[in-house]
Amino acid sequence: SSTLSIKDLHVEIDGKEILKGVNLEIKGGEFHAIMGPNGTGKSTLASAIMGHPKYTVTKGSITLDGQNVLEMEVDERARAGLFLAMQYPSEITGVTNSDFLRSAINARRGEGNEISLMKFIRMMDEKMQFLEMDLNMAQRYLNEGFSGGEKKRNEILQLMMLEPKIAILDEIDSGLDIDALKVVAKGINHMRGENFGCLMITHYQRLLNYIKPDFVHVMMQGRVVKSGGPELAERLEAEGYDWIKKELGIED
């Protein structure tokens, strides 16, 4: 199984240091959650892993199975087996969902190993039914006029079709009603296994009621300041973040 390893990661936006030494290791078979107050750099971490050009890594490393992720272009990161929900432009005109997914799968599989159209259609139908999606979604233009819930569900469809080694899901729960959240959770839980590791970034504990993390990390002021098991998320839900700030002597 795979390992995504983040070591002493420092990231700047417009010359301002946001991440100040993040250490994190995610292995195949493991579900991790990062929680933390708003503005502490959680999304910055996701963006740095995906290679967003606005985020400059000034120090530290990100590797996937020993390969230097920071040297890879965005599409190379995807081909290497990283999946980032939100990585795609919100709307691409003139590309159907189905076309987009097939080219993404084929890019990941590589030349000479493309998926057959029949196999692709069968796989897409099966996954869409599993996610209780309207089959017409396949022929709609990517994200055009999708509701918030449809977009999230579609991201989980992408996840299930692409079968990445490691997925980073930033606020995959935001704006979902409870039924949509359950479906999204069902999809992510279905991925569980030796060959799949997941990092869920969430502001709320709610998601973690449906997807049990093996590890929970708290991020504050650009660092992972505390790690534990699922009980840590429960304590945060009940008591907020103040006790951690006190414990660490952090001021607001």
d(CA 250, CA 243): 10
Q: How far is the CB of 87 from Mg ion (least distance, A)?
A: 15
Q: Which is nearer to ligand ADP, 100 or 204 (CB)?
A: 204
Q: How far is the CB of 170 from Mg ion (least distance, A)?
A: 6
Query: How far does the chain reach from its first CA to its final CA, in angstroms?
Result: 40
Q: How far is the CB of 204 from Mg ion (least distance, A)?
A: 12
- Within residues 46-65, the interface with ligand ADP by CB under 6 A covers 54
Number of residues that bind ligand ADP (CB under 6 A): 12
Tell me which of 3, 5, 43, 205 binds ligand ADP, using CB under 6 A.
Answer: 43
Q: Is residue 37 at the binding interface for Mg ion, with CB under 5 A as the rule? A: no
Nearest Cα neighbor of 83 from 26, 160, 166, 184 is 166
Tell me which of 23, 43, 67, 195 binds Mg ion, using CB under 5 A.
Answer: 43
The arrangement of strands across the sheet holding 3-13 comes to: 16-27, 3-13, 55-64, 67-68
Q: Which is nearer to ligand ADP, 42 or 102 (CB)?
A: 42
Residues in the chain: 252
Tell me which of 2, 40, 87, 158 binds ligand ADP, using CB under 6 A.
Answer: 40
Q: Is residue 223 at the binding interface for ligand ADP, with CB under 6 A as the rule? A: no
Q: How far is the CB of 84 from ligand ADP (least distance, A)?
A: 14
Tell me which of 2, 44, 202, 221 binds ligand ADP, using CB under 6 A.
Answer: 44
Residue 18 interacting partner from Mg ion, ligand ADP, none (CB closer than 5 to 8 Å by kind)? ligand ADP
Q: Where are the beta strands (DSSP E) in the chain?
A: 3-13, 16-27, 31-35, 55-64, 67-68, 82-84, 166-170, 197-201, 215-220, 223-228
* In contact, 92 and 99? CB cutoff 8 Å: no
Backbone angles phi, psi at 118, to 5 degrees: -60, -45
Residue 47 corresponds to which tokens in the numbers above?
């963006």
| CA gyration radius, the chain | 18
Q: Is residue 116 at the binding interface for ligand ADP, with CB under 6 A as the rule? A: no
Residue 40 interacting partner from Mg ion, ligand ADP, none (CB closer than 5 to 8 Å by kind)? ligand ADP
Note the residues at the interface with ligand ADP (CB under 6 A). 13-14, 18, 36, 38-44, 54
